[in-house]
Structure 1
Amino acid sequence: MAQQRADFFHELAHIVRHEGHQDELPGLFVDLQEYTVNLRLIASMPFYLLPTTLEMTESEYIGLLAKEFRVPI
């Protein structure tokens, strides 16, 4: 389920952030597009709802976010 959500947001990021067909674009530009959509999981987590101070370690917090928003770490 987490991987399906990640794949969905990956493809959604292509639609929202890019235009053109990757098979017609230069390879480095395609690589750039793929790199930028890897930030897709940001779209799946409403950061404005998250606390600004942490009362746990960074790795614990990352694990909690992955679990709560059903995305891979």
Structure 2
Amino acid sequence: MSYEFGRFKSITIDKRLPSKVQREHFYHELCHILRHAGRQIMMPAAFRELQEWDARNFTRYAALPLHMINKFDYTEPDIVEVLSEQFKVTPELCSERLYRISEKVKHLAMTPL
């Protein structure tokens, strides 16, 4: 959960969660502090959903920056587990990030020059 009051900004993470999940929650809440304004409780549902989508997307990029994961061999059979351990995030997040990278590569390969 993130909280703002004037210039004071705070992120609270549940310490009972596994450390990899805590890390993902941190990136998610950091996005809300850096990129979003207003109180979600008072927002229309569609705008709240947009902010949540943005925070999930931000989490993938912040937790697994492309310039850092490019140093790994994507063809390695256990690449998801390797990235999960190296970046201290869940294998699910690593899988999502790798999937999105592969989709972008496919799209770029099909785009004529």
Same fold (TM over 0.5): yes
TM-score (norm. length: structure 1): 0.79
Name the SS of the counterpart of 2:82 in structure 1: helix
Higher CA-based Rg: 2
Structure 1 residue 63 corresponds to structure 2 residue 81: yes
SS for the counterpart of 2:49 is helix
User: How many angstroms does 1:53 deviate by?
Assistant: 5.5
Cα-Cα RMSD: 1.8
TM normalised by structure 2 equals: 0.54
- Structural mapping, 1:41-60, within 5 Å: 41-49=60-68, 50-51=70-71, 54-57=74-77, 60=78
Kindly indicate whether the alpha-carbon contact (under 8 Å) linking 1:41 and 1:71 is maintained by their aligned counterparts in 2. no
1:16-63 residue CA offsets vs partner (Å, 9 max, x unmatched): 221111011101110111112112132122321223763424xx2222
More helix by share: 1
Contact 1:66–1:72 (8 Å) recurs in 2: yes
Classify the secondary structure of the residue corresponding to 1:38. Answer: helix
* Structure 2 residue ranges without an equivalent (≥5): 1-18, 92-113
Paired amino acid for 1:42: Y
Structure 1: any 5+ residue segments left out of the alignment? Answer: none
